[in-house]
Amino acid sequence: MIPRFRFAPSPTGGLHIGTARTALFNWLAARSVGGKLILRIEDTDIKRSTAAYEKSIIEDLKWFGLDWDEFYRQSERTGIYQRFARELLDENKAYRCFCTPERLEDLKKRQYAEGMMSKYDNRCRELSGGEIEKNLKEGKEFAIRFKVEDGKEIKFCDLIRGEISFRSEVIGDFIIIKSDGTPSYNFAVVVDDGDMKITNVLRGEDHITNTARQILLFKSLGFSLPSYAHLSMILGKDGSKLSKRHGATTISQFREEGYLAEAIGNYLSILSWAPRDGEEIFGIRDILGKFKISDISKSPAIFDVDKLKWINGIYIRRKSTEELARLCIPYLIKEKIIDKKDLGNEKVMSKIVKGVYAFRDNLKVLNEFPQYIKDLFGEKIAGYSKDAVEILTLDTSTVVLQSFLGKLESELKSFDNNQDIDFNEEKSKNLINMIGKSLKELKIKGKFLYMPIRASITGKTHGPELPRVISILGLKNCIQRVNQTLEYIKNNKL
């Protein structure tokens, strides 16, 4: 028999990290054994479900590499749930409950006041045929409730947690079809898992108590029981449940911030699971065949954003510079460092590629890129750091800058008008060496040579290699900036 797994998100929000991991683990488990994966949209909560969330969940799942073989939407299956509910009614395993929401609310309050567990008091279980007829004739609204016999033990063996058991008296008769004709969550899940011949249910541990109800329904409907595995929660580093407080929590937020699909897939895979060889960096397809549900840990997973960043950095470095530049462009536009219309500007594009090349090793998340490169865009230096001012104050610095300016200008003369974009790192390196040589007699070298040059074109004393910075800026812009700095020194009497 081909194993059949399913992933069943509710489209009441974006794809959360925890739900994404459940989806991935189902995909890994199914694909590792040549099984089928079913995507089922659980949108029976019509008030909270939206088509937009469904679309974004599907987009996010595809984005980090998942695929599936069958697709269903619960809202399109109401007739099926009603048919199965009718069967249970006919077999006397379920009954119509005419209790009003007010009565149920009162019951709950009373039980609470008496320190009792909240549970339906089975009032409508005993209605006679005549009473039911009368209520129906009067047009009274009703829900359909499933009968749960007291005194039973419901036991199942969870593939991750071992044996779990519940007493049926803690459950009570529960609703399977609501008064508006839609199924309750537990009923829809069981009808679907049964009807779709699901063999393995792998989901979050928040569903463990539902599993008890679902097993009862499975048995009553005559479906064969799937195997169950419940994944532990994902906690923040502080040990509390992962929430908005911890930063981004949905896949689309991570995607927007500039995490790569490969990194997300990789990181989610190691939340409560690890390959036996201890390897940590791998694509989700690389572990197909190695992934086993029984190897999933039952302790909670800790979501460590720094580790995710580290992994993301690794995948960033695996990209070509051109591909990375393409991925970084939206962040430059967002930060208004470039404009959409610059996309056709060869000079700007070449600057971006050079910038990416310069900073690719530092980059952990794509949205950090504008911070690195912003000093190198625009005609002018935005400001000088304290260290930069300090070094520019030295008399020797003005001498260095004059020499630097002279060399830049004479280099520029050797190019035709706009050709300075071709001023590469090699040439930049030679230019600095030349300055060094010419200042040798004045004994200006090392830090006293490099720092003022850097400060004069970036306003900072630290950054990527100087020849790289010069090449990214280009001769004309370097000249402009050195002039700006000389002006600054003069005006501020540094």
| Distances in whole angstroms, Cα of residue 487 to Cα of each of 67, 392, 406 | 60, 12, 16
Which residues are within 8 A (CB) of 180 and not within 5 positions of it... i.e. 6 or more apart?
none
Amino acid at residue number 339: D
Q: The tokens of 141 are what?
A: 């609204």
- Residue from 5, 27, 38, 42 touching ligand GLU (CB under 6 A): that is 42
- 9 part of the interface to ligand GLU, by CB under 6 A: yes
Looking only at the bridges linking them, the beta strands covering 227-231 and 200-204 are: parallel
Q: Which is nearer to ligand GLU, 42 or 420 (CB)?
A: 42
Closest CB 216 distance from ligand GLU, rounded Å? 15
Q: How far apart are CA 312 and CA 304, in angstroms?
A: 12
Q: The tokens of 416 are what?
A: 């035709």
- 26 part of the interface to ligand GLU, by CB under 6 A: no
Radius of gyration of the chain (CA): 33
| Site stretch for ligand GLU (CB under 6 A), options 6-14, 220-228, 279-287, 428-436 | 6-14
**Eight-class DSSP state of 241:** B
Angle subtended by helix axes 466-473 and 346-359, to nearest 10: 170
Q: Which is nearer to ligand GLU, 189 or 435 (CB)?
A: 189
Closest CB 207 distance from ligand GLU, rounded Å? 5
Listed as own residue / partner, the contacts of 54-57 with beta carbons closer than 8 Å and 24 or more positions apart are 54/11, 56/14, 56/15, 56/252, 57/9, 57/11, 57/14, 57/15
- Residue from 10, 232, 428, 471 touching ligand GLU (CB under 6 A): that is 10
Q: Which is nearer to ligand GLU, 9 or 313 (CB)?
A: 9
Closest CB 176 distance from ligand GLU, rounded Å? 15
- Residue from 16, 77, 203, 309 touching ligand GLU (CB under 6 A): that is 203
Q: Which is nearer to ligand GLU, 9 or 459 (CB)?
A: 9
- 189 part of the interface to ligand GLU, by CB under 6 A: yes
Q: The tokens of 15 are what?
A: 């794809």
| Site stretch for ligand GLU (CB under 6 A), options 3-11, 161-169, 326-334, 433-441 | 3-11
Q: How far apart are CA 101 and CA 99, in angstroms?
A: 7
C-alpha dihedral, 325 to 328 to 333 to 339, nearest 10° = 0
Residues 53-112 that bind ligand GLU (CB under 6 A): none
| Site stretch for ligand GLU (CB under 6 A), options 8-16, 110-118, 334-342, 351-359 | 8-16
Closest CB 329 distance from ligand GLU, rounded Å? 35
Closest CB 191 distance from ligand GLU, rounded Å? 12
Q: Which is nearer to ligand GLU, 43 or 420 (CB)?
A: 43
Q: Which is nearer to ligand GLU, 37 or 475 (CB)?
A: 37
Looking only at the bridges linking them, the beta strands covering 153-158 and 162-167 are: antiparallel
- 454 part of the interface to ligand GLU, by CB under 6 A: no
Residues 207-226 that bind ligand GLU (CB under 6 A): 207
CB 461, CB 451: distance < 8 Å:
yes
Amino acid at residue number 228: Y
Q: How many residues bind ligand GLU (CB under 6 A)?
A: 7
Q: How is 281-292 classified by DSSP, letter by letter? A: ---GGGGTTT--
CB 259, CB 248: distance < 8 Å:
no
Q: Which is nearer to ligand GLU, 41 or 392 (CB)?
A: 41
Q: Which is nearer to ligand GLU, 186 or 485 (CB)?
A: 186
Q: Which is nearer to ligand GLU, 159 or 482 (CB)?
A: 159
* Binding residues vs ligand GLU (CB under 6 A): 8-10, 42, 189, 203, 207
